[in-house]
Structure 1
Amino acid sequence: FKVWNLRMYVALLMGIAIGIGISFLDPATENDNLWFVFFCGIISVSGMTLPGFSGSFILILLGNYVLLLVDSVNALFDTFYEIFSGDFSFIDNPIRIRMLKVLSVFTLGSLAGLVTFSHILNYVLHHFKNTTLSVLTGFIIGSLGMVWPWKKTIYKTTEDGSFLLDSVGGKVIENYKRFIPELNSETYIAIVFIVIGVCIVLLLDWYGRNSNDDYA
């Protein structure tokens, strides 16, 4: 940005606020309604096209990460395995058929979101480039909490206090609890690597700018 104006600063702050807000939202409960699954597909793939957002994290917030990326995918894998084995008994399995429907609708939603959102993003970048880039920069800054390295995983539990497991026996993630680390050797090493990562990004940006100037 060569010149920053008030509109760009406001857009930046809006992006930061949205990013922070999404980072600290509590996940919703699982919902296998097909219309909602279609909506999840649109939203998740839209998140993948925006820098600073994770489609998987959005699905966790929507409560359907396990349903869409674990259970339904496992159902598809099991179905292919049975088909190649000459076993078509899954046709009479209502749970399996339901999972395949869920995955199909999610895939359609993802395709619809990819096509639609890419056109929208292209339009706003073409007509409101600086403002859009300001918002995206705010997204990246505000969503840094998602990649905060010091956090404790919180798993979903049942009413009796035992861990809720997915179809492959893994614990279902509910959210993350972030904390300030103690100052020890491990923390210092992590900070050093963070600084190295920042320096690499700045060096790549500097190299890209100089390369463009050389070819200009």
Structure 2
Amino acid sequence: MVKNPLLLFSKGIAMGSADVVPGVSGGTIAFITGIYDELLDSIKKLGPAALKVWFKEGFFAFWHFINGPFLLTLGCGILLSLFSLAKLINWLLVTYPIPLWSFFMGLILVSVWHMLRQTPSINVCSLGALAVGAVFAWWFSGMSAMQVEQLRLITFFVCGAIAICAMILPGISGSFLLLLLGVYEPVLNAVSTINLPVLGVFAAGCMTGLMLFSRLLSWLLTHARNATFGLLTGMMLGSVNKLWPWKQPATDTLVNILPTTYQEMTGEPSQLAIAAIMALLAITFVLTIEWIAER
């Protein structure tokens, strides 16, 4: 039985708000609000063992085994937040792209610093993993983006399975992984328009990812923490290639250009000052969360 369902629901809202933007991890919010261990333990119980309990002892025993009240209350808060913010983010992407991407970039950069602080020790292994992650993310995020009409339902399934793993990683967000995979905007659009086929397949991918990958990631964090954190940090650092606010179309992709070049080529203001302010706001936001967590 959940002791304070309203408080847990509000924590779910905070986690959903974090997961809808690339940079802040829902896992980080869970860690800060003191529910990370319970969340991880509950997720680990989702699997064959839980089904055995259901078949042998009935639904109520199964519900108790997986900590159902906790997961349901938290999940409702997360879903409410996701659906509430999706339309706003979708509108901002179209109306104010440079300030929004600048905010996202600030979130990623300060999260890199946060991840480095969480790394137990900086050594050759972690630095090598960081370099590999950065190079891979820079190369991968620079590939030509998939068009919405070219996306298949299997793509949303696979991306959901990958992105949901961020829930158990304090420091890296599911939205960041979706951004890196090139499906952030299509998924956001599906949420804001209530596209049930896409959302259903994406949710199925999320459930599959939780059951298959959560144990692997938990093992990696236990047995190869330095290398895992280094790889994740490098991926976040390399994603700056994708988040750079000033871009210009070139053949079948977008290339990064300087703010001054953007203004010369498009005839539109570069909004450099606004971009800098938004990035600083993002950095201040994450540092404030950390300050609260330490106290």
The TM-score, its normalising length taken from structure 2, stands at 0.43
CA distance in 1 between partners of 2:154 and 2:219 (Å): 24
CA distance in 1 between partners of 2:272 and 2:224 (Å): 41
Mapped pair 1:69 → 2:190: yes
Residue of structure 2 equivalent to 1:41: 157
Q: String of CA shifts for 1:163-185, please: whole Å, max 9, x gaps.
A: xxxxxxxxxxx864432112878
Structure 2: which amino acid aligns with 1:198?
A: I
CA distance in 2 between partners of 1:48 and 1:109 (Å): 8
Conserved 8 A contact 1:39-1:109: no
Give the 3-state SS of the residue equivalent to 2:283 in structure 1: helix
Give the one of 174, 177, 201 matched to 1:54: 177
Residue of structure 2 equivalent to 1:181: 259
CA distance in 2 between partners of 1:110 and 1:45 (Å): 5
CA distance in 2 between partners of 1:17 and 1:46 (Å): 19
- Runs of 5+ consecutive residues of structure 2 not aligned to the other structure: 1-118, 167-171, 264-268
Residue of structure 2 equivalent to 1:171: none
Q: 1:56 to 1:181 in 2, by over 3 A?
A: closer
Give the one of 277, 280, 283 matched to 1:195: 280
- Runs of 5+ consecutive residues of structure 1 not aligned to the other structure: 77-99, 155-173, 212-216
CA distance in 2 between partners of 1:49 and 1:193 (Å): 28
CA distance in 1 between partners of 2:210 and 2:186 (Å): 18
- Percent sequence identity over aligned pairs: 25
Q: CA deviation at 1:16?
A: 0.7
Q: Which has the larger radius of gyration?
A: 1
Structure 1's consecutive aligned runs of 4 or more residues displaced over 6 angstroms after TM superposition are: none
CA distance in 2 between partners of 1:57 and 1:5 (Å): 26
CA distance in 1 between partners of 2:287 and 2:151 (Å): 42
Q: 1:4 to 1:65 in 2, by over 3 A?
A: same
Mapped pair 1:6 → 2:124: yes
CA distance in 2 between partners of 1:39 and 1:189 (Å): 35
Mapped pair 1:23 → 2:147: no
Larger fraction in helix: 2
Q: String of CA shifts for 1:79-120, please: whole Å, max 9, x gaps.
A: xxxxxxxxxxxxxxxxxxxxx5x7655543332123212222
The TM-score, its normalising length taken from structure 1, stands at 0.56
Residue of structure 2 equivalent to 1:121: 217
Q: CA deviation at 1:31?
A: 5.4
Aligned positions, number: 159
Give the one of 121, 137, 148 matched to 2:244: 148
CA distance in 1 between partners of 2:280 and 2:205 (Å): 39
